[in-house]
Amino acid sequence: METLTKIIQNYYYMIAILLFIIGMHTMLTHSNLIKKVIAMNIMDASVFLLFVAIGYTHGGQAPIIEEGKDILFVNPLPGALMLTGIVVAVSITAYALSLVVKIYRYYGTVDYDEICLIRSQE
């Protein structure tokens, strides 16, 4: 019962793990390159959620120090780092999608299995 209570209190960790598993499953089982890029974005979002959840403190406030008060603060560092991560993720997504467009123009498909077939016949 105690384990179930801890899981319910920390549900954001479970959601992050579930999202990562969904993204990883999609990356491994689908051969469509656009679906793979979307799955990569889902995995990125799960990592961002995990890091922000690590920095969260239940009942915490913004880290603004006031004299004479003993306040529980939320750690701002993971959130700040994730802003950088989001910028990098958007850049990687744009680059990956531009590669998918180039691949489509050259091979006429975005299906990885079909591309492998076309390459083996050349």
Write the pLDDT tens digit of every residue in 4-39: 887 787 888 889 999 999 999 999 999 999 999 999
Query: What residues have CB less than 8 Å from 25, skipping those under 6 apart?
Result: 39
pLDDT over threshold 80, residue 90: yes
CB distance 23 to 43 below 8 Å: yes
Span 95-119, average pLDDT: 95
**What is the rounded CA–CA span in Å between residue 82 and residue 13?**
16
**What is the rounded CA–CA span in Å between residue 102 and residue 108?**
10
Q: How many CB atoms lie within 10 A of CB 16?
A: 20
pLDDT over threshold 80, residue 60: no
Q: Tell me which residue of 45, 37, 38 sits closest to 19, measured CA to CA.
A: 45
Residues 2-121, CATH architecture: Orthogonal Bundle (1.10)
